[in-house]
Amino acid sequence: MNQSASTVRWLTDPPLDGPTNMARDEALLQRVGGGQSPPTLRFYRWSPATISLGYFQSYQDFASLPPPAATLPVVRRQTGGGAILHDQELTYSLTLPLDHPLIDKGNPNDLYDRVHEGFAAVLGYLGIAVSRGAPPRACSHRGPFFCFEQHTCFDLIVNGHKILGSAQRRTKQAVLQHGSLVLGRRHEQQTCAAVADYCSVAMDCYLDRLASAILHDYTGRQDALGPGELALADQLRGKYEDPAWTRKR
C-alpha cells in the first residue's frame, strides 16, 4: 500500500441525531471497504441526547429504565457492547481497510490500543492522568446495561471511573471502530468520569492534536464527507430510525 492510500483523512461533523450518526458510520464502513472512500477518522457529537444500544442488547432492558434515560431517543448500533448515553461527549469513528498499516499485523484489536493511547496523550497534555481498565477485553451484552459501568483492558479510567470506551464492527474488507469520550454529565445514569471534572477546555480546539496523536505519520488533511458518502448515509438512515431495527432484540 502506497503512502497516499495509507493516509487517513480526518473530519468533524456538526451535532446530529442518532440515526444520522449511525448511518454515516455505516456508510463509511461500506465505502472504505469497497475502496470508494479513503480511510477516515470522523469526530462527531449528538443532538439531542440519545441512548445507543449495543447490537445484541435487549430493547426491553432500555424500556424498563427509570427516567430520564428511558425517555431519551434510542438507536441501535451496528457494534456490540453495552448501551451508551450520548450527551456531552466527543465521539469518534475510525474506518480502515484491513490491509492498512495502522492495523498492525492484520490484528484490528491493536486499534483499541492505538486510538486510546492517542486520547491518553491529549488528556495527559490537559493534565488528566488516565490508566487502563481490567479484563475482560470487550463490553459484554451479558454485563451491566450501560457500557460505562464496566471496564475492559482497553478502556481509559480516571480515579476508578471510565472516561473513554470503544467498540468495533468488522467486515471482510474493513473495520469500523467508534467510541465516546465523556466531556460532561447531566444525567444521573452517567456514573462515569468526565473531562469537565478535571479541567475546563473546549475539546474542539484540540482535534488536530488528537488526530495527529492517533494517526501519527498517517494523518491526512482535514476534510469533509463527499456527495457519495452522504447519499449512502441518507439511504441507510431509514434503517436506524425504523422501530423494527431498534427493537429487533
Q: What is the pLDDT of residue 134?
A: 74
pTM summary value: 0.92
Q: Residue ranges per domain, the chain?
A: 3-246
Q: Which residues are known catalytic residues?
A: 147
Q: What is the pLDDT of residue 30?
A: 98
Domain range 3-246, its CATH number among 3.40.190.10, 3.40.50.300, 3.30.930.10, 3.30.413.10? 3.30.930.10
Enumerate the β-bridge partners of residue 169: 176
Q: What is the pLDDT of residue 196?
A: 95
Dump the DSSP string for the chain. Answer: --HHHH-EEEEEPPPB-HHHHHHHHHHHHHHHHTTSS--EEEEE-BSS-EEEE-TT--HHHHHTSPTTGGGS-EEE-SS-S-BEEESSEEEEEEEEETT-TTSGGG-TTHHHHHHHHHHHHHHHHTT---EE--SSSS--TTS-SBGGGS--TTSEEETTEEEEEEEEEE-SSEEEEEEEEE----STT--S--GGGT----GGGGHHHHHHHHHGGGEEEEE---HHHHHHHHHHHHHHT-HHHHT--
Mean per-residue pLDDT over the chain, rounded: 90
Q: What is the pLDDT of residue 155?
A: 92
Residue written as cell 474493513?
174
Q: What is the pLDDT of residue 142?
A: 54
Look at strands 84-86 and 89-97 and give their pairing.
Answer: unpaired
Q: What is the pLDDT along the chain (249 residues), one digit of tens a residue?
A: 555 678 999 999 999 999 999 999 999 999 999 999 999 999 999 999 999 999 999 999 888 888 777 889 999 999 998 899 999 999 999 999 999 999 977 788 889 999 999 999 999 999 999 999 876 544 444 556 666 667 788 899 999 999 999 999 999 999 999 999 999 998 887 889 999 999 999 999 999 999 999 999 999 989 999 999 999 999 999 999 999 999 988
